[in-house]
Chains A and B, each alone.
Chain A
Amino acid sequence: QHGRVKIKSTAQQEEEKRKEREKKLKAFVSARDAVLKKRSAGEHDEEALQLTQQLLSSNPDFATLWNYRREVLLHLETLREKDEVQKLYESELHFIEACLKVNPKSYGCWHHRSWVNTRLPQPVWTRELGLCDRCLSLDERNFHCWDYRRVVVKESGVSVEQELQFTDRLIGSNFSNYSSWHYRSTLLPQLHPQPALDPAPYTKYELAHNAFFTDPNDQSAWFYYRWLLGRGVCVSGRDRGLSLSLSQAQSEGLMLVLDGLPQQVQWRSAHPRFRHSPVWVSFTNTFSFWGDYSF
């Protein structure tokens, strides 16, 4: 009933609805009691799968039923050959997908799907990725799906670059995609774990710029941009000198490398009393640069 909008109806319609609900409730209660009785009796058979399927299809948040289903499946595994086990769990995935259509945000469903993939002799990760794509196209903010996608990507060895491209596509088609920006924030550091030493990827501001020029009131790009600016290096004042703002304090020993060539530059801490500082300044008018720099 979460978040349903009210619709007015006549007294007769109300009565019909009430009778319908009562009928459903009776069917549900008797199926539920039957299931719990079977479980107490330790029965792990096809009938258990059928009964739990019936109940979970309309109520995928009934955690006890997923637990029981897992017990039944584990037991059936011991009675089947490998290719039959594959079929058993593939049809389970089919069933879970149907439940997800009812409630794409059910903790129980997603958790069970993750579990099934650990039991499948041969998981089909491309299919799982496809499911995530479909789910996200319906609701880009479904964090259950994003979380599941992260698991799939990890298990199937999809490259970080590929996933970054995925976020490029999503953000490109809709800048207001906080979940995609968030995902980028976890992918970039995987590809480039040392922003202070390799700042270039973190200075590609165009995506963020485009986003907040398109809609300045949207928080997504601003939060992401703030994070980017705080990564490792912020370089300013290229013509007459450099000021370097790092996300972590460093002590002396900074070396500027310009287009592959190390430069002779004197650095002074912006906090003269401290050897460890996040901000360093160099004064030089011997060069202005637009090339690729690293430190």
Chain B
Amino acid sequence: MLTIVFFALSGLDVLDALDVVDKPGLIEWIYSLQVLPTDDKSNLSRCGFRGSSHIGVPYSSSKGPGAPHTYDSGHVAMTYTGLACLVILGDDLSRVDKEACLAGLRALQLEDGSFYAVPEGSENDMRFVYCAACICFMLDDWSGMDCQRAIDYIRRSSSYDSGIGQGAGLESHGGSTFCAVASLCMMGKLQEVFSERELKRIRRWCMFRQQNGFHGRPNKPVDTCYSFWVGATLQLLDVFQYTNFEKNRNYILSTQDRLVGGFAKWPDSHPDPLHTYFGICGLSLIGEAELRKVHPALNISMRAFESLRQLQGAWRQKST
């Protein structure tokens, strides 16, 4: 399942432990999840990456055209994490059909600017706006989405308390606030979309999410993963240094499993890949020793981000 692989892989990267991974093998597996255009390109709007092979499509390592299948399509979160994993593994993305991915992405955007996860429809909200922005950011090509519509969706999702919800009229949430702010940062439009006054209020709402660790909404219990979602948002808004690092760190570490390792959302709970990964990222934000720095918007290590930048530089050179 691609998203879980991303948590594990990016986590290992932040821990500087990627040498334990069979990189070529994993790269092949990821490419086998790419939904490629068929010979007649009739399925372009369904391209991207799938999350796993459970639907039973024959194995293909992205070295030829796609095989037609009525129910085969990409999933926006899988396309995002698939590309991120390839970048982390040092792949040059040469087997990614960028045009097809972008066409598949365009097909997922709704009138209101938000995105479905899959072409046959699903719920639509800020999470998938973020996935879309990451895809465009990594492929260095914003033709995959109508940015202005997405920006309008983000503005309409701003709530009375200056937090940002999953959609218009919906309750402010640390996760969706991260998705919105990070998307705008990747587009390079944060200051254009929000006035300084509005940004101050967003900072304030986010700051108030720290109790010891962070929670996602007022009066909810704190949860390890918000140390990243809210922490990274504060970092992008240039005020993370004003949070209490010690309380944050102590909370994250209190959710660590003494026997098997990893982090859980709460102390004395079962650890899982998601909370382990975001616990590590949360610690990286506060500068924990021996952890690589994390790109607060794209959510991969700065090392991986640098190699992505180099790759994008080479693409630009080629096209000129």
Contacts and interface: CB of A to CB of B under 8 A. Distances in A.
Interface in B155-213: 159-161, 166-167, 169-173, 205, 208
Interface string B281-311: 0000000000000000000000000000000
B220 A64 contact: no
Contacts of A110: 123
A205 interface: no
A107 B169 contact: no
A63 B55 CA distance: 12
Contact of A63 (B122, B217, B268): B122
Contacts of A219: 208, 218-219
Interface in A56-103: 63-64, 67
Interface string A173-199: 000101100100110000000000000
Contact of A147 (B70, B170, B217): B170
B118 interface: yes
B95 interface: no
B269 A6 contact: yes
**How big is the A interface, by class?**
35 or more
Contact of B218 (A3, A6, A178): A178
Nearest to B173: A143
B266 interface: yes
B238 interface: no
Nearest to B121: A67
B118 A227 contact: no
A1 B217 contact: no
A36 B218 CA distance: 42
Contacts of A32: 54
B230 to A, nearest CB: 14
Interface string A132-155: 000000000101001100100000
B30 interface: no
Interface in B107-126: 117-118, 120-123
Contacts of A39: 71
A182 B120 CA distance: 32
Contacts of B56: 36, 40
Interface string A100-129: 000000011011000000000000000000
B27 to A, nearest CB: 26
A242 B278 CA distance: 52
Contacts of A178: 171, 217-219
B269 A143 contact: no
Contacts of B160: 182, 185-186, 224, 227
A218 interface: yes
Nearest to B124: A111
Contacts of B171: 143, 146, 178-179, 182
Contact of B219 (A6, A36, A220, A224): A220
Interface of A is mostly: helix
A26 interface: no
Contacts of A64: 55, 71
A289 interface: no
B264 interface: yes
Given A141-B220, A185-B159, A40 B269 contact: no
A288 to B, nearest CB: 32
B269 A5 contact: yes
B272 interface: yes
A223 B160 CA distance: 9
B217 A141 contact: yes
B265 interface: yes
Nearest to A185: B160
Contacts of A147: 166-167, 170
A95 to B, nearest CB: 19
Contact of B118 (A63, A179, A220, A224): A63
A182 B172 contact: yes
A24 interface: no
A30 B219 CA distance: 43
Interface string A256-275: 00000000000000000000
A4 interface: yes
Interface in B66-83: 70-71
Nearest to B220: A141
Nearest to B120: A67
Contacts of B218: 178, 219-220, 223
Contacts of B266: 3
A2 interface: yes
Interface string B77-95: 0000000000000000000
B270 A6 contact: yes
A227 B170 contact: no
Given A143-B166, A147-B166, 19 more contacts: A3-B264, A6-B268, A63-B117, A64-B55, A67-B118, A111-B122, A143-B173, A178-B171, A178-B219, A185-B161, A218-B219, A223-B161, A223-B205, A223-B208, A224-B160, A224-B161, A226-B161, A227-B160, A227-B161
Interface of A: 1-6, 32, 36, 39-40, 63-64, 67, 107-108, 110-111, 141, 143, 146-147, 150, 176, 178-179, 182, 185-186, 218-220, 223-224, 226-227
8 contacts: A1-B270, A4-B269, A36-B54, A141-B219, A143-B166, A146-B171, A178-B171, A226-B161
